[in-house]
A and B are shown apart, each in its own frame.
Chain A
Amino acid sequence: MNNILFDIRNLSYSVLKKEILHSLSLKIYEGDYLSIIGPNGSGKTTLIKCLIKINKTADDKIYFKNVPIEKVTQKKLAAQISYVPQVNEQSFSFTSREFVMLARYPHLSRFTSITTKDRDAVRDALNLTKTTQFADRSLNTLSGGEKQMVFIAAALAQGGKVILLDEPATFLDPKHENDIYEILKTIHQKTNKTIVTVTHNINSAILYSDKIALLKNGEIVYCGDSDKITENNILQDAYDKKFTFIKHPTCNKSIILPEVL
């Protein structure tokens, strides 16, 4: 068994007095490829934002490598955990290279400039994600899929052991969606990083990740192997809906078939 990276113990979290997460407990291990799924409003995004202190939580609820995260400075945390937000419509006039270089922030000290190590990290990240070709183009000029790749490149360049992703492929066409999952698989296998994604797409969670955590109303109702999520009406109960499953012809995992209405 690998070491525990994140140990979440009885985490409750409220936004505007409304409790989103109800004493949620979850362990994430080193080397995991975990998908967090769940109905709308179940608290998926809220949860991963807690893991990097975008959402500030109460003391002693989340441990990262056995240390409560509120005791770790933001910069030290960022050196180990990177985050890819939901693809947003915001415009950034930075070039891709500038944007990826900004992710080196946790490794810079105030009075020294960018080192060769930083440049190498940026170059490698751009190469691995195949975004070198638009390194000097402004992010504003890229398509949604290209932009998402650059965001993943930035997360890589940040150099941590964990990458958290919020809906990495939701608004992308099938090709770009595949590209994203393929690159995540490569990152997971080649660099042995821990990957945690929040997603709406149950099939991609089953097919690409090793583990799935299923959230409903701010509580974990399932956490385990991704291919067992289709058993025992787990999904039916969580989503309040009947599902039709079919064996995927090449990988023998059960996936969801769209309904005929």
Chain B
Amino acid sequence: MIKNKKLVLLFFSILAGLTVILTPFIGMETIPFDTILHFGDSSIKSDIFWRIRVPRVLIAFIVGLALSIGGMTFQAMFRNSLATPFTLGVSSGAAFGAALYVKMGIIFSLAGITGQTIFAFIGALITITIVYLLSKIKKGFSVGTMLLAGVAINFFFSSFILFIQFMSDFTHSFRIMRWLMGGFEVIGYTDIYNILPFILVGTLIIVLLSTELNLLTLGEDLAISRGVNVNRIKTILFIATSLMVGGIISVVGPIGFVGMMIPHISRLIIGQDHRYLVVLNIIFGGSFLVLCDTLSRILIAPAEIPVGVITALLGGPFFIWLLITNSNNNTTI
């Protein structure tokens, strides 16, 4: 842990700034700096930069930050680094909601929000409720059991998604599969508008409740005795996380492990005070996913690796490392 927290935040802010500014130039087609200044003429390179790369970097950033603080919130509430929306099955619940919407073939939107997003949000919320009720049924439900329940929930929804795929025609099925890998290939500004309200609201709630998150990491009993209305705060946080996860999943598909790696590494760097931790997660998580996405563009160019594959390749070993290093300690954060 580094003592000077403000310095850490400054350093990562600079890093994040550089990442966001520089990465749009990098890809299958490297874009020279002067081309982007020609707004008027529609040269292909300027088009690639402004219409494809910039929105893609922006959405990778906001998705990365939202996944990170969503993960951080779950880790604080369940008091374990392994407990994240992804590992507890919330992401697959959201994915099932979105897939169900696609399969049903109805198209609607509510106040500018697509039906797919609403379905994903509901899927996330239902799964979170299941997970929470499971943890409530028995006091002292161990985190190990929670994670196993998460695995079961994952299997359950994956099977449903497979079933939906099976019932769909070939092209449709491929689209669902590709979307399930998670990625930013077909992102435009409209996707950003679609996802932004969810992430803004969720982020704002979590930032405002960072002191409560600190108290929740002490355990429910202590948090209550310090004056936290635990049930209400947890409900608000669950809804905030569902909003973000649902919004993300419906647009870019499930992107795993970011919500586990970034909050954990951030905690090692800046400590457990969520007032700082949440800020580091925002700038670090955002730039991390932008970097992963840049890798996904250049590693096997001209083809692309779905970014969800890259994060999973990094996250799998990380998960196992966490399991090993924390095996003799139930509370790992």
Taking beta carbons and an 8 Å cutoff, which residues of A are in contact with B?
A: 49, 52-54, 73-79, 81-83, 85, 90-94, 98, 102-103, 105-106, 108, 110, 138, 158
Interface flag for B271 (CB, 8 Å): yes
The answer to whether B217 touches A82 (Cβ under 8 A) is no
Rank and list the top 7 A-B pairs by shortest CB-CB distance, nearest first. A78-B227, A83-B225, A106-B227, A75-B227, A93-B272, A90-B331, A105-B226
Where chain B touches its partner, the secondary structure class is: loop
The answer to whether A98 touches B229 (Cβ under 8 A) is no
Interface flag for B208 (CB, 8 Å): yes
The answer to whether A79 touches B221 (Cβ under 8 A) is no
Interface flag for B329 (CB, 8 Å): yes
The answer to whether B221 touches A92 (Cβ under 8 A) is no
The answer to whether A94 touches B221 (Cβ under 8 A) is no
- Nearest-CB distance from B79 to chain A (Å)? 8
The answer to whether B225 touches A102 (Cβ under 8 A) is no
Selected A-B contacts with CB under 8 Å, 18 pairs: A74-B227, A75-B228, A77-B227, A78-B225, A81-B225, A83-B221, A85-B222, A85-B225, A90-B219, A90-B330, A91-B329, A93-B272, A94-B214, A98-B272, A102-B226, A105-B228, A108-B211, A110-B208
The answer to whether B221 touches A85 (Cβ under 8 A) is yes
Q: Which residue of chain B has the shortest Cβ distance to A105 in the bound complex?
A: B226
Interface flag for B215 (CB, 8 Å): yes
Residues from chain A with a CB closer than 8 A to the CB of B267 are 93
Given A91-B329, A94-B272, A53-B208 contact (CB < 8 Å): no
The answer to whether A92 touches B229 (Cβ under 8 A) is no
Q: How far is B223's CA from A103's CA once the two chains are assembled, in angstroms? A: 9
The answer to whether A98 touches B329 (Cβ under 8 A) is no
Interface flag for B273 (CB, 8 Å): yes
Residues from chain A with a CB closer than 8 A to the CB of B222 are 83, 85
Given A85-B222, A90-B331, A91-B329, A74-B214 contact (CB < 8 Å): no
The answer to whether B218 touches A105 (Cβ under 8 A) is no
Name B214's contact: one of A102, A138, A158 (CB within 8 Å): A102
Interface flag for B15 (CB, 8 Å): no
- Nearest-CB distance from A180 to chain B (Å)? 18
Name B226's contact: one of A49, A76, A94, A103 (CB within 8 Å): A103
Residues from chain B with a CB closer than 8 A to the CB of A52 are 224-225
Residues from chain A with a CB closer than 8 A to the CB of B220 are 54
Q: Which residue of chain A has the shortest Cβ distance to B219 in the bound complex?
A: A90
Residues from chain A with a CB closer than 8 A to the CB of B214 are 94, 102
How many of chain B's residues touch chain A, expressed as a range? 20 to 34
Residues from chain B with a CB closer than 8 A to the CB of A76 are 227
Residues from chain A with a CB closer than 8 A to the CB of B226 are 78, 102-103, 105-106, 158
The answer to whether B227 touches A94 (Cβ under 8 A) is no
Given A98-B273, A105-B211, A92-B227 contact (CB < 8 Å): no
Q: How far is B223's CA from A82's CA once the two chains are assembled, in angstroms? A: 11
The answer to whether A105 touches B215 (Cβ under 8 A) is yes
Given contacts A74-B228, A106-B226, A110-B208, 5 further A-B contacts (CB under 8 A): A90-B331, A94-B271, A94-B272, A98-B273, A102-B211
Name A92's contact: one of B224, B225, B228, B272 (CB within 8 Å): B272
The answer to whether A105 touches B219 (Cβ under 8 A) is no
Residue among B221, B225, B228, B273 with the highest chain A CB neighbour number at 10 A: B225
Residues from chain A with a CB closer than 8 A to the CB of B221 are 49, 54, 83, 85
Residues from chain B with a CB closer than 8 A to the CB of A75 are 227-229
Q: Which residue of chain A has the shortest Cβ distance to B222 in the bound complex?
A: A85
Residues from chain A with a CB closer than 8 A to the CB of B272 are 92-94, 98
Given A85-B222, A90-B331, A91-B331, A102-B227 contact (CB < 8 Å): no
Q: How far is B329's CA from A245's CA once the two chains are assembled, in angstroms? A: 43
Contact flags B225-239 to A (C-beta < 8 A → 1, else 0): 111110000000000
Residues from chain B with a CB closer than 8 A to the CB of A102 are 211, 214-215, 218, 226
Residues from chain A with a CB closer than 8 A to the CB of B227 are 74-79, 105-106
Q: Which residue of chain B has the shortest Cβ distance to A103 in the bound complex?
A: B226
Q: How far is B211's CA from A98's CA once the two chains are assembled, in angstroms? A: 11
- Nearest-CB distance from A15 to chain B (Å)? 8
Q: Which residue of chain A has the shortest Cβ distance to B273 in the bound complex?
A: A98
Residue among B217, B224, B331 with the highest chain A CB neighbour number at 10 A: B224
Q: Which residue of chain A has the shortest Cβ distance to B229 in the bound complex?
A: A74
Within 8 A of A (CB), among B64-81: none
Q: How far is B1's CA from A168's CA once the two chains are assembled, in angstroms? A: 30
Name A54's contact: one of B208, B211, B224, B271 (CB within 8 Å): B224
The answer to whether A53 touches B219 (Cβ under 8 A) is no
Within 8 A of A (CB), among B279-333: 329-331, 333
- Nearest-CB distance from B315 to chain A (Å)? 23
Q: Which residue of chain A has the shortest Cβ distance to B329 in the bound complex?
A: A91
Residues from chain B with a CB closer than 8 A to the CB of A49 are 221
The answer to whether A74 touches B273 (Cβ under 8 A) is no
Q: Which residue of chain B has the shortest Cβ distance to A88 in the bound complex?
A: B219
- Nearest-CB distance from B205 to chain A (Å)? 12
Q: Which residue of chain B has the shortest Cβ distance to A78 in the bound complex?
A: B227
Residue among B217, B226, B271, B330 with the highest chain A CB neighbour number at 10 A: B226
Residues from chain B with a CB closer than 8 A to the CB of A85 are 221-222, 225
Q: How far is B225's CA from A103's CA once the two chains are assembled, in angstroms? A: 9
Q: How far is B272's CA from A77's CA once the two chains are assembled, in angstroms? A: 26
- Nearest-CB distance from B206 to chain A (Å)? 14
Residues from chain A with a CB closer than 8 A to the CB of B229 are 73-75
